Amino acid sequence: MLITARHKIDDSHGISHSMNVLHFAHNIYNDEIFKNPELVSQERLIYVSAIVHDMCDKKYMNEKDGVAEIEEYLGDKLTPLEIDTTKQIVSTMSYSKVKTHGFPDLGPYMPAYHIVRESDLLSAYDFDRSMIYHMYNNGATTEQAFSNAKELFRTRVLKHYADGLFTTDYAKRYYPYLQCKALSRMNAWERMLSKKY
């Protein structure tokens, strides 16, 4: 909460979003654990990475400063290896970095990386969250925010699966439901905004 307030991280990337990512990470972890039993030793760093992943988001702060804050915050809570791995996960998992540089090589921590990254991608299907981001950061009207969010979904979110961004079975099974929900929400907004009162 202190980091969110200090960096003026709005509702679209704040605590509620972190909680949603954490819940998706928990679900994917429980789905993957049977195939990857080594994840048991990584459970804590998966959950921590999910919670703190936007504490270094370049939309709100200097990314290196954010990573340093994460390291300082986690200093007495995780082992040095867990902290280093958390820093590597959160600093390489953004959509833009993956599209530009591909997936990093985190060795035995690749499954943990994909769990956290895909949890964030699944939370991106929240259409209202995208509108909220544009309203806070671009001063957009509801109509402009809707238009911007719709374009983001057309060019990015609705292409997650086709772009090969999902590797876990859970994400591949669950994204169609989230996509259907997002499209339904988008249609509802379109109907409401087309009304002339």
Q: Structural domain of residue 31, as residue ranges?
A: 2-194
Question: Cβ distance 108 to 89 under 8 Å?
Answer: no
CA distance 22 to 8: 21
* CA nearest to 112, candidates 81, 137, 74: 81
The pTM of the full predicted model, rounded to 2 decimals, is: 0.89
Neighbour tally for 61: CB within 10 Å? 19
* Percent of the chain residues past pLDDT 70, beyond the cut: 86
CA distance 104 to 90: 11
* CA nearest to 63, candidates 45, 87, 82: 87
Amino acid 72: pLDDT = 80
Residues found in the chain? 197
Question: Cβ distance 123 to 137 under 8 Å?
Answer: no
Give the count of domains, the chain.
1
pLDDT in tens, 5-46: 665 665 656 677 888 999 999 999 999 999 999 999 999 999
CATH number (domain holding residue 50): 1.10.3210
Q: What is the mean pLDDT of residues 178-185?
A: 98
CA distance 194 to 142: 12
Band of pLDDT at residue 1, cut at 50, 70 and 90: low
pLDDT in tens, 90-100: 999 989 899 99
More confident residue, 66 or 92: 92
Amino acid 111: pLDDT = 97
